[in-house]
Structure 1
Amino acid sequence: MAIDAIVRRIPEPLRARLLTHRELLKFAVVGAITWFIDTGVVYAVKLTVLGEKPLTARLLGALIATIASYILNREWSFNTRGGRARSHEAALFFAISALGIGVTMIPQAISLYALDLRVPDVAPVTQAVANFISGQILGVLLAMAFRFWAFRRFVFPHDLREAELHSIQG
């Protein structure tokens, strides 16, 4: 079934709200995709070569997911926005994403080092659950909110549809 057919079946009040927030919804879908990429990388390397280094695993997962995020956000989520040279846009995207990686790591660092939820102070299962909740859930949600705001504000600042409309009217 085509996406247009699905959209037509959604009741009008909900459809209008979804269309109003389409950019945020697309960003959330990209976030979900990159969350799976991030989580897959984190656990693949933690269970193999970086078992004793959970923050290093977190950093590697975030870096790989960030590259995927740039491509998906540029081409889909914010495809109606722009206003910057591609190289400048990419530099800003990766700088903001680096800050986002820091935001992602804060809850897990607090869990590990301030709350001492790490082996040998707690059981390995307790550390694993605490790392998942603090890193994969809290950290990712905090970073997602920060990134959405910052990407719209600094990386993709201009709605190209509005600029096009003004040039046609002017």
Structure 2
Amino acid sequence: MPSPTQKALAKVPGPLRPFLVQHRSLVKFLLVGGTCFVLTLAINYALRFSICQSKPVVALTIATALATVVSYLLNRQWSFRSEGSHKEAIPFIVVSALAVGVNDLPLLASRYLFNLREPHVSHFTQEISDFLAGMILGTLVAMAFRYWAMKKFVFTTQRADEELQDATAEPVGPRH
């Protein structure tokens, strides 16, 4: 009986399969990250247009922290397939706290170092710079940091038998 991974790989064009198999944890990490990015974006702007109107860094910090909880659950169960123990919880919290700070740094610099805020710039320029610095640049830098730190310090014990099984399984689907 083919696994769900094997079924999904059968639908991928042949030349991409080796790349996806070789980098499957990165691909899964990026899918989880994309989902959490959308969640962060939604929470951030919900807060910015309601209770955190004058506190964009606070809104981004809260949004990132909430999305981090979702990220932990998804990465633990799917991306890195950690074994059943919760020994990675404390390193995850430390890495995530550092990553929230890394994520906030570009927005802090944009707002308070480069003064890209009202009254120094127009409201439109402020919003564009906040989005580019906080949501785009901050997320990209924090994502690279998280991926490296999660593999290095948090999810260090993957189920070797499942990894080996996925990598060596017979491809499902029509053979050419």
Letter of the aligned partner of 2:89 in structure 1?
A: A
Q: What's 2:62 paired with?
A: 60
Distance in 1, matches of 2:77 and 2:137, equals 27
Offset of 1:9 from its aligned partner?
3.8
Distance in 1, matches of 2:7 and 2:133, equals 39
Structure 1 runs not aligned, ≥5 long: 166-170
The superposition leaves residues 38-97 of structure 1 with CA deviations (integer Å, 9 ceiling, x where unpaired) of 111110010011100000001110110011111111111111x44x940x3111111100
Counterparts of 1:83-102 in structure 2, within 5 Å, are 85-86=85-86, 88-102=87-101
Letter of the aligned partner of 1:109 in structure 2?
A: L
Q: What's 2:108 paired with?
A: 109
Q: What's 1:147 paired with?
A: 146
Letter of the aligned partner of 1:101 in structure 2?
A: V
Normalising by structure 2, we get a TM-score of 0.84
Distance in 2, matches of 1:34 and 1:54, equals 18
Secondary structure of the 2:28 match is helix
Q: What's 1:29 paired with?
A: 31
Letter of the aligned partner of 1:50 in structure 2?
A: C
Q: What's 2:41 paired with?
A: 39
Q: What's 1:77 paired with?
A: 79
Distance in 1, matches of 2:162 and 2:26, equals 20
Structure 2 runs not aligned, ≥5 long: 165-176
Offset of 1:35 from its aligned partner?
0.5
Distance in 1, matches of 2:158 and 2:121, equals 50
Normalising by structure 1, we get a TM-score of 0.87
Question: Greater relative contact order: 1 or 2 (C-alpha under 8 angstroms, separation 6 or more)?
Answer: 2
Higher mean C-alpha displacement, 19-28 vs 3-12: 3-12
Residues 1:164 and 1:69: Cα distance change in structure 2 (over 3 Å): closer
